[in-house]
Homo-oligomer: A and B are copies of this chain.
Amino acid sequence: MSLNRLIEKIAETQNPTVAGLDPKLEYVPGFIKEKAFAEHGETLKGAAKAIWLFNKGIIDAIHEIVPAVKPQLAFYEMLGIEGVKVFHETAEYARKYGMYVIADGKRNDIGSTAEGYASAYLGKVRVGENEYEPFPVDALTVNAYLGSDGITPFTDACKKYDKGIFVLVKTSNPSSGELQDKLISGVPVYEIMGRLCEEWGRESEKRYGYSGVGAVIGATYPEQIKEMREKLPNTFFLIPGYGAQGGRSGDLKAAFDSRGLGGIVNSSRAVMCAWQKEKCDEQDYAGAALREIIRMKNELIEITGEIKLK
């Protein structure tokens, strides 16, 4: 169990950024949709094909300078089976380039069922004499509303296959505080969740000081980032909400330690829709995504300084 490979990729690329692949059809340039629909019609298969071509173009363009991608399962599931196939294909393709793949599924259930999700995304499944990896990913986001016995199957799989999880602590959305900010014996729920991350990661290998149990903390809540960084010294942060949701880079400084480690910042819409914002030729959508990633990298490296593993 660890996030070591992710951390090493961040240092290698000098880029604490993860590209969120949350594609909706309206983000996809017309020429790609035309090609996909010509082949498969205006069907779920056609839509999924368009998403696949779109993702592939972006991954081809950015793989050398971004350590990780985070496909959001919701956007693949909404295209049914054909969409789930594209999720698989996307994860596999990113991995071939050596990118770290975080499946954003926020999965959760009671222990015996969480085992199923753990096998699906972090482990292997035995069929007779053979073993299979159902979905080729390196880490999964999970929701811990059900408590420890809903998390143990995930950490068990992480131990066995050297993978990682990110537990929802303080999410980036406006109403996250409805439950997460409430006080229990004077301690906010997000802090209770954060402390559980430290606990669940206690026995994890920590080559770079961080365990295999990370925490999701939104860029839209900079005070909580600062507070949690102080209170959770061994927990790596996955930070969504940068850009389109309003999180700003200066607010993120507190997430990082003196080596520039400690978190990875997600950007989805700003990357996927860069071509629309730039108003560039739609054929150049992947180039626009790359330019946005470089802009973001420069912004973040300004606050982290040179990223060092030691």
Residues of A within 8 A of B (CB): 22, 24-25, 37, 42-44, 46-47, 72, 74-75, 77-81, 83-85, 88, 106-111, 113-117, 119-121, 125, 127-130, 132, 134-135, 143-150, 168, 171-180, 182-185, 189, 192-193, 196, 240, 245
Q: Are A117 and B77 in contact (CB under 8 A)?
A: yes
* Separation of A107 and B37 alpha carbons in the complex (Å): 30
Q: Are A173 and B127 in contact (CB under 8 A)?
A: no
Write 14 A-B pairs (CB below 8 A) sorted by A numbering.
A25-B127, A42-B128, A42-B130, A44-B134, A77-B121, A78-B125, A81-B85, A144-B145, A146-B168, A147-B177, A150-B171, A150-B173, A179-B189, A179-B192
* Separation of A184 and B79 alpha carbons in the complex (Å): 39
- When C-beta atoms are compared, the residue in chain B nearest to A146 turns out to be B171
Partner of A113, one of B75, B88, B116: B75
Q: Are A182 and B184 in contact (CB under 8 A)?
A: yes
Q: Are A134 and B74 in contact (CB under 8 A)?
A: no
Q: Given contact pairs A47-B127, A78-B134, enumerate 18 new A-B contacts (beta carbons under 8 Å).
A: A22-B116, A24-B116, A43-B130, A74-B120, A77-B117, A77-B134, A79-B125, A81-B84, A81-B88, A110-B171, A110-B172, A143-B145, A145-B171, A146-B176, A149-B173, A149-B174, A179-B189, A182-B184
Kindly list chain B residues whose C-beta atoms are within 8 Å of the C-beta of A132. Answer: 43-44, 80
Instruction: Contacts A149-B174, A173-B150, A184-B182 given; indicate if A116 touches B44 (C-beta within 8 A).
Output: no
